[in-house]
A and B are shown apart, each in its own frame.
Chain A
Amino acid sequence: MKEIFKLGGILLLVTALASGALSMVNKITKPKIEEQKRLVVERALIAALPTADPKAIEKVIENDEILYYIGYTTQEKTDIAGYAFVAKKAGYSSVIETMVGVDTTGKIIGIKVMEEKETPGLGTKIEEIKYGESAPWFQLQFINRYAGELAVDKDNGPIRSITGATISSRAVTNSIKEGLEQLEKRLGGFKKQANPTQTEQVS
């Protein structure tokens, strides 16, 4: 009996020391880690809402959940440049999270994949930037499209899927489509797209 207490005591001491050390490290790294997380979202928002002032993007929160973001063109927050939301769907080996920005008519103006752990060399090509280009070709295909058009080529849509990674391509496409439809419901409808060739000036 005595031995058990002795051994237990030693283990307790070791674990206590370990947790003490860890709490110290955690104190140093915690603000850094949160900063990194915030930066990911911030960078994604800037990419998704290129027409908005980066300092004039607001969250719309309901029940502690961020429903979507509103981006204004200026810091006076009079004109809405567009809305952004996070689209999520399970891909081949991970949940793919994409920040999507649309203008007030529901046209996609920017997207950025924030989180994915797909098969390297196949699914990860949703983030591939070809040599000499500045943005991922797969994501560029979504720009200037509306929810109704979104489907990959295997589903007879206009989005060219990645060779060997139809599941990842489809997950991104369908998650954006679903997210857009949800956003439309929450906003009570987008502004009418007067004419596809003539973009509406928000005054």
Chain B
Amino acid sequence: MENRLVVSASPHIAHKDSVKKIMFGVVISLLPAAVGGVYFFGAKAAWVIVLAILSAVITEALIEKLTKKPITIADGSAIVTGILLAFNVPPEVPWWIPVIGSAFAIAIGKVPFGGLGYNPMNPALLGRAFLLASWPSHMTIFKTAPKDGSLSGINLAAIKSYGLDAITSATPLNVFKTQRGILFEWHDVLKSGMENPALQAKADLANNAISQLSDSYANLFWGRVGGCVGETSVFLLLIGALYLIYKRYIGLRIPLTYIGTVAVLTWLFAGTEGLFSGDPLFHVLSGGLILGAFFMATDMVTSPVTPKGRIWFGVGCGVITVIIRLVGGYPEGVSYSILLMNLTVPLLDRYTKPKTFGKVEQK
């Protein structure tokens, strides 16, 4: 900046943070969870992350080269997209899943709209949605149990003593969804007064499984559960999030309203014994909620700029997530909820525009 006396429209206060600096800040904040993913799931998780980053960066460079646009990979946003995409796929996917996912995220989700700052939806989540719709068998099957833990997060000792082996070969939310379904079916049978010993045995097992899920908070918090590469360890994600909050790269409105909405709604509706019997802590700690709420819903490009808009954005994400988790076809709804709310951002911004200071409301 040589010419510092520029006459232009407001705002005039410049901040020393550049796009590049912020993006590398985000990369640093994602590192603990990345290291955690490799620690818990082994070297294949590292491969997924590396391939996703490489694919994102190369795709962006290639398209910009072909269309003769300035090459923008140095701003680091493609690296962030690659890491976030890798965080959202299971660790045991074939090598081409993260490669195609990242390429789609950049080539369809970002560049055609004009590159960084113009994409209406979070590219990494778009990539994940594409992968989930195209190869559901690879994206919904989790086989790798984390180091020192079980896929479902239930303690190994409890699995043995309750005979739960058969139903805990899935992620916590998956176990929750299927077992809750069995319990509802059992309640219907109980109401009708019929006898069904086979179902009763299954319902007993389901009750055990769900209560054991609730006792697995510690495993969920530290990350000793199955899941996507970077979503499992709440602890490591929170370290990164604290860094972002400390650097003021993200605000608290979206994450807090998002997580709060999920907690309240699951407490109200997620139980099997009527209202207020749900387990909000389990729902907050499991799945990709922490990753989504702090790292993806807060994406500067695809979230509202107004304070009120951010609150509504978080609430909307929470409502959609809970609806998908409890009544939808998938066990987890974080990525779809954020994508759907991304599309409402222009409207939210428009209707929550703060009043100009000193302006008198027109009658």
Direct touch of chains A and B (CB < 8 A): yes
Q: Which residues of A contact B (CB under 8 A)?
A: 154, 156, 163-164, 166
Q: Tell me which residues across on chain B come within 8 A of A163, comparing CB atoms.
A: 136-137
Bound CA–CA A46/B143 (angstroms): 43
| Cβ-defined partner of A154 (8 Å) among B136, B137, B178, B202 | B178
Bound CA–CA A17/B136 (angstroms): 53
Residues of B114-144 whose CB lies within 8 A of A? 136-137
Bound CA–CA A166/B329 (angstroms): 10
Bound CA–CA A164/B134 (angstroms): 10
Residues of B129-178 whose CB lies within 8 A of A? 136-137, 178
Bound CA–CA A184/B329 (angstroms): 34
Contact B136 A164, beta carbon cutoff 8 Å: yes
7 contacts between A and B (CB under 8 A): A154-B178, A156-B202, A163-B136, A163-B137, A164-B136, A164-B137, A166-B329
Bound CA–CA A163/B134 (angstroms): 12
Bound CA–CA A154/B174 (angstroms): 12
Give the dominant DSSP class at A's interface. loop
How many B residues, CB 8 Å from partner?
5
Q: Tell me which residues across on chain B come within 8 A of A156, comparing CB atoms.
A: 202
Q: Kindly list the 7 A-B residue pairs having the minimum CB-CB distance in the complex, ordered from nearest.
A: A164-B136, A163-B137, A163-B136, A156-B202, A154-B178, A164-B137, A166-B329
Q: How far is the CB of A192 from chain B (nearest CB, A)?
A: 22
Bound CA–CA A154/B177 (angstroms): 11
Q: Tell me which residues across on chain B come within 8 A of A164, comparing CB atoms.
A: 136-137
Bound CA–CA A154/B331 (angstroms): 14
**Nearest residue, chain B, Cβ from A122:** B136
Q: Tell me which residues across on chain A come within 8 A of B137, comparing CB atoms.
A: 163-164
Cβ contacts B82-105/A at 8 Å (1 or 0 each): 000000000000000000000000
Q: Tell me which residues across on chain A come within 8 A of B178, comparing CB atoms.
A: 154
**Nearest residue, chain B, Cβ from A163:** B137
Bound CA–CA A156/B178 (angstroms): 11
Q: How far is the CB of A92 from chain B (nearest CB, A)?
A: 10
Q: Tell me which residues across on chain A come within 8 A of B329, comparing CB atoms.
A: 166
Q: How far is the CB of B186 from chain A (nearest CB, A)?
A: 13
Q: Tell me which residues across on chain A come within 8 A of B136, comparing CB atoms.
A: 163-164
Bound CA–CA A164/B329 (angstroms): 10
Q: Tell me which residues across on chain B come within 8 A of A166, comparing CB atoms.
A: 329
Q: How far is the CB of A117 from chain B (nearest CB, A)?
A: 19
Q: How far is the CB of A201 from chain B (nearest CB, A)?
A: 32
Bound CA–CA A154/B202 (angstroms): 13
**Nearest residue, chain B, Cβ from A156:** B202
Q: Tell me which residues across on chain A come within 8 A of B202, comparing CB atoms.
A: 156
Bound CA–CA A37/B137 (angstroms): 37
Residues of B162-210 whose CB lies within 8 A of A? 178, 202
Q: How far is the CB of B79 from chain A (nearest CB, A)?
A: 32
Q: How far is the CB of B232 from chain A (nearest CB, A)?
A: 24
Bound CA–CA A177/B303 (angstroms): 49
**Nearest residue, chain B, Cβ from A165:** B136
Bound CA–CA A163/B137 (angstroms): 7
Residues of B307-363 whose CB lies within 8 A of A? 329
**Nearest residue, chain A, Cβ from B166:** A156
**Nearest residue, chain B, Cβ from A154:** B178
Bound CA–CA A163/B139 (angstroms): 11
